[in-house]
Amino acid sequence: MREISLALPGRDRSYQILIDPGLRLRLPGLLDALRLSGRVFLVTDTRVGELYGEQTVAVLKDSGYTPALLTVPRGERAKTWGVAQRLAKELLARGADRSSPLIAPRGGAVGDLTGFAASIFMRGLPFIQIPTTLLAMVDAAIGGKTAINLPEGKNLLGTFHQPRLVAIDPQFLQTLPASQRRNGMAEVIKHGFIRDPDLLGRLEKGRDRIFKDEAELTAIIHRAAAIKAEVVAADEREGGLRRILNFGHTLGHGLEQASKFRLPHGEAVAWGMLAALGLSVKLAGLSPEEAAYGKQLIRNFGLARRLPALDPLAVLAALALDKKRLADRVVFVLLKRLGEPVIRDDVPRSLIEQAVSETFGLSY
Ligand SMILES: NC(=O)c1ccc[n+]([C@@H]2O[C@H](COP(=O)([O-])OP(=O)(O)OC[C@H]3O[C@@H](n4cnc5c(N)ncnc54)[C@H](O)[C@@H]3O)[C@@H](O)[C@H]2O)c1
């Protein structure tokens, strides 16, 4: 079993991230170790519930737990005020109290919703993350950010609520559709760009070999999750270092918003990373060879191949709504070298416009 310790200041706030194929079948032992017992609430989406709900409930019951399985819609449709309220009412109706653990076997979307509910229900419940998508394993499940969306934008209501445990079972990825694997891979590549050129080297093997080799996949998830944990431990509330995790996200969010969220997050980030690599050459000293290597790696994973026709002005307008903006300036993460990010808020508007037209091929 691979383990990462995420150390945070304060009582009961540090936690373990465990990674092991088959870990989902050992959930009761993990709960015992946290001294959680009795009634536990599993929150999942319709698809993950269909695939793994019955098995998870059975594993828990066999060990004397009394699990209740609560199902919410898939994807962004789960991250609404209405669903959060319904979930809270259902928890109440089923007798949840302040000691009831919420356990979320699911992707990033339901993880954000469940974390949000766990943070506000009776002022806070213990929360256990069981990510089932690659994106959630290496990113969303780690770091305690929770969120729901508003019609005006994504993730506008949220809290910081750290989980008690993150249990990662790479075997969940066997049923994950290829498009979702690509999505997660964009974040794995991002972690390599901002922190670890060796991880990029491992990724050169290509997606087919990586997903067929359980040990290699586990090692890659471990490294990518460790990078996220390391950054969160240094900067829990995104005051400084944590902003490097937004590499590719500034223009990526612009694309997501302009596409009205039809463009998947990983795809949007992949395009955003292509643009950020180009800007890094122009402004931060990244060599053209390193940028070309990075762009090739992204494309080798089947990412950033074709972009739907979008209004470039809508992409630019969306940057002004990005809540990560500092005062009037748009914040970009660029690279000095692979693995060495730098935060810049002085990227000239003309270069941003150029990136939108040249990298994304969107004409004004
Ligand atoms: N909190 C954070 O720090 C953070 C970080 C990054 C992203 N996010 C959020 O994460 C969300 C995206 O998460 P995601 O990419 O995991 O998508 P998702 O949660 O929407 O899941 C994608 C789809 O895959 C299905 N699925 C999940 N696991 C499966 C499995 N093992 N087998 C088959 N199907 C499976 C789901 O039912 C869903 O239809 C976004 O809402 C984003 O804002 C949060």
Is ligand 1 within 6 A of the CB of residue 53? no
Is residue 246 part of the annotated active site? The answer reads yes
Classify 338 as helix, strand or coil. coil
Supply the pLDDT for residue 261.
Answer: 85
Supply the pLDDT for residue 273.
Answer: 98
Supply the pLDDT for residue 283.
Answer: 96
Report the alpha-carbon distance of residue 136 to residue 148 in Å, rounded.
16
Q: Tell me the Cα Rg of the chain.
A: 20
Is ligand 1 within 6 A of the CB of residue 228? no
Supply the pLDDT for residue 183.
Answer: 93
Supply the pLDDT for residue 328.
Answer: 60
The Å distance, Cα 4 to ligand 1 centre, comes to 22
Supply the pLDDT for residue 180.
Answer: 95
Place of tokens 């075997």: 171
Report the alpha-carbon distance of residue 61 to residue 228 in Å, rounded.
33
The Å distance, Cα 45 to ligand 1 centre, comes to 10
Supply the pLDDT for residue 319.
Answer: 83
Report the alpha-carbon distance of residue 191 to residue 185 in Å, rounded.
10
pLDDT by position in tens, the chain (length 364) = 999 999 998 877 899 999 999 999 999 999 999 998 768 999 999 999 999 999 999 999 999 999 999 999 999 899 999 999 999 999 999 999 999 999 998 999 999 999 999 999 999 999 999 999 999 999 999 999 999 999 887 889 999 999 999 999 999 999 999 999 999 999 999 999 999 999 999 999 888 889 999 999 999 999 999 999 999 999 888 777 889 999 999 999 999 989 988 899 999 999 999 999 999 999 999 999 999 999 999 999 999 998 998 999 999 888 875 555 544 678 999 999 999 999 999 998 899 999 999 999 888 7
Supply the pLDDT for residue 323.
Answer: 54
Look up residue 336 and give its DSSP letter: E
Supply the pLDDT for residue 327.
Answer: 47
Q: Is 73 exposed, middle or buried (0-12, 13-18, 19+ CB in 10 A)?
A: middle
Is ligand 1 within 6 A of the CB of residue 180? yes
**Domains in the chain: ranges and CATH:** 2-175 (3.40.50.1970), 178-358 (1.20.1090.10)
The Å distance, Cα 332 to ligand 1 centre, comes to 25
Q: Are 31 and 61 in contact (CB under 8 A)?
A: no
Report which protein residue has its CA nearest ligand 1's atom 5.
140
Is residue 267 part of the annotated active site? The answer reads no
Report the alpha-carbon distance of residue 35 to residue 117 in Å, rounded.
22
Supply the pLDDT for residue 349.
Answer: 87
Report which protein residue has its CA nearest ligand 1's atom 10.
108
The Å distance, Cα 281 to ligand 1 centre, comes to 32
Buried b or exposed e, range 170-207, using 16+ CB within 10 angstroms? bbbbeebeeebbbbbbbbbbbbbbbbbeebbebbeeeb
| H-type alpha helices, the chain | 27-33, 46-48, 54-62, 81-93, 108-120, 134-135, 178-195, 197-203, 207-212, 214-234, 249-258, 265-283, 288-300, 312-319, 349-358
